[in-house]
């Protein structure tokens, strides 16, 4: 097992990793920008190193500073969390060259699954269901021709990343020619990769993702699914596990298909395979995220498995703690239901970011409530990073109980001095379509 892990991240995910390390008896090193000097992850880690000014490119994305911090403190491994360098294959390679274990998949796996076009090719080779799509598009005319072949509407996507950047719904050849250059520029700006591809667009899909944990030696565990259909501009806002749209039979079938694909690929570490579910209930592979997900707590709540601790154990070459009780290709049966609300420092109507001083903070508690957060009263939310300041997670014996607990938890939560999207979540939780489980990625459009 590792002796000391450097956490190349900040905020709630850095705290989450620190907690897992502490339970495993592993020392931790926090890195931080100048503006994050008083952040909780800095306070809770065993050691802390300032790696640069506030802008991420000069701190959390500055690889030489992170490697230097690891060497200075004697860390033997690096955990990237999510975001920042978590899916950067070059960073993983540099860690290996410097004698540091990267807690995540191999650089080769990251390259295979991180590029959306190569991920589609891998998914096809390993028997995962796919929507009709294309390889990398040469130019706007080629894109229009390929989209016509597939059939409109199509979704134009960036090969090098996600999150909505470079993503356009295209309903005609003329629209493709007009929007292709814009999407390409967005992709270059966001990912330094202008490659685009397209696939058939599903009008009212659900977003379903499956959590996997693999040892790279033939054991691939599929730890259930999450429903992530509540999104704004392709950014997830509320997640739950399990999905009301996934039957026990479909769950068992997908566990077998996904486990087989992961075994064939030799993948190692945590990973999440994301699918679109059409109105007929069919699932089609979209992409794979080769890291821990923001929404991992809902899976933890319904499985009782500490995903971050298991990821660390796997990276150290140890078997998962549940290996004796769960067959590698068997579906795990969820226990109850869990919901996560992402609390952002933003205006709940305009969605404009709202950084500033938190004058008062009171997290909710009680039965079945968990809060993952990196803020406190007196903490100043910086303007330089993602606006998420907390995750509220509830668990109940039923979905109705999980919803009731989330409503109660949000009514207890106090965050003053800045604006948050708590009221937006409360509106979602009261909407009849949400209560009945009638969800799609266009849910917020109906909410108004």
Q: Residues with catalytic annotation?
A: 291
Q: How many CA atoms lie within 13 A of 187 on its CB side?
A: 24
Report how far residue 260's alpha carbon sits from residue 193's, in angstroms, rounded to the nearest whole number. Answer: 31
Among 198, 157, 152, which Cα is nearest to 171's?
Answer: 152
Report how far residue 242's alpha carbon sits from residue 227's, in angstroms, rounded to the nearest whole number. Answer: 7
Asked if 255 and 271 touch (Cβ cutoff 8 Å), the reply is no
Report how far residue 86's alpha carbon sits from residue 386's, in angstroms, rounded to the nearest whole number. Answer: 15
Query: Strands 154-158 and 196-200, how do they pair?
Result: antiparallel
Q: Is the dihedral of CA 141, 160, 192, 90 positive or negative?
A: negative
Report how far residue 84's alpha carbon sits from residue 58's, in angstroms, rounded to the nearest whole number. Answer: 12
φ, ψ for residue 299 (rounded to 5)?
-70, -40
Report how far residue 285's alpha carbon sits from residue 367's, in angstroms, rounded to the nearest whole number. Answer: 36
């Amino acid at each position: 097992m590792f002796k000391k892990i450097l956490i190349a991240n900040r905020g709630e995910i850095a705290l989450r990793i620190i907690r897992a390390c502490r339970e495993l008896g592993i020392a931790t090193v926090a890195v931080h920008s100048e503006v994050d000097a008083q952040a909780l992850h800095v306070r809770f880690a065993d050691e802390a190193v300032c790696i640069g000014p506030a802008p991420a490119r000069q701190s959390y994305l500055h690889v030489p500073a992170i490697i230097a911090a690891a060497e200075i403190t004697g860390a033997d491994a690096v955990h990237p969390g999510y975001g920042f360098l978590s899916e950067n294959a070059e960073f993983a390679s540099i860690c290996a060259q410097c004698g540091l274990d990267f807690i995540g998949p191999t650089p080769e796996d990251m390259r295979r699954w991180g590029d959306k076009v190569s991920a589609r090719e891998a998914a096809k080779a390993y028997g995962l269901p796919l929507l009709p799509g294309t390889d990398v598009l040469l130019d706007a005319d080629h894109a229009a021709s390929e989209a016509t072949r597939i059939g409109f509407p199509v979704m134009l996507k960036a090969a090098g990343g996600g999150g909505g950047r470079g993503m356009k719904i295209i309903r005609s050849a003329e629209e493709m020619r007009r929007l292709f250059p814009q999407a390409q520029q967005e992709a270059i700006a966001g990912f330094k990769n202008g490659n685009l591809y397209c696939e058939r667009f599903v009008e009212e899909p659900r977003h379903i993702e499956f959590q996997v944990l693999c040892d790279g030696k033939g054991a691939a565990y599929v730890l259930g699914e999450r429903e992530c259909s509540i999104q704004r501009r392709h950014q997830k806002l509320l997640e739950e596990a399990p999905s009301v749209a996934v039957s026990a039979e479909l769950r068992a079938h997908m566990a077998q298909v996904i486990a087989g694909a992961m075994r064939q690929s030799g993948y190692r570490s945590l990973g999440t395979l994301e699918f679109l579910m059409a109105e007929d209930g069919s699932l089609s592979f979209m992409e794979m995220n080769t890291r821990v997900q923001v929404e991992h707590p809902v899976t933890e709540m319904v499985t009782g498995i500490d995903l971050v601790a298991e990821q660390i154990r796997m990276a150290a070459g140890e078997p998962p703690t549940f290996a004796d009780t769960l067959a590698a290709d068997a579906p795990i049966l969820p226990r109850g239901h869990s919901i996560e609300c992402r609390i952002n420092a933003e205006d709940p109507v305009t969605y404009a970011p709202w950084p500033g001083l938190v004058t008062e903070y009171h997290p909710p508690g009680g039965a079945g409530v968990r809060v993952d957060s990196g803020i406190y009263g007196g903490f100043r939310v910086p303007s330089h990073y993602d606006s998420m300041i907390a995750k509220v997670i509830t668990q109940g014996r039923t979905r109705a109980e999980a919803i009731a607990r989330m409503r109660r938890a949000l009514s207890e939560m106090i965050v003053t001095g800045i604006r948050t999207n708590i009221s937006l979540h409360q509106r979602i939780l009261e909407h009849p379509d949400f209560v009945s489980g009638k969800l799609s990625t266009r849910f917020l459009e109906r909410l108004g």
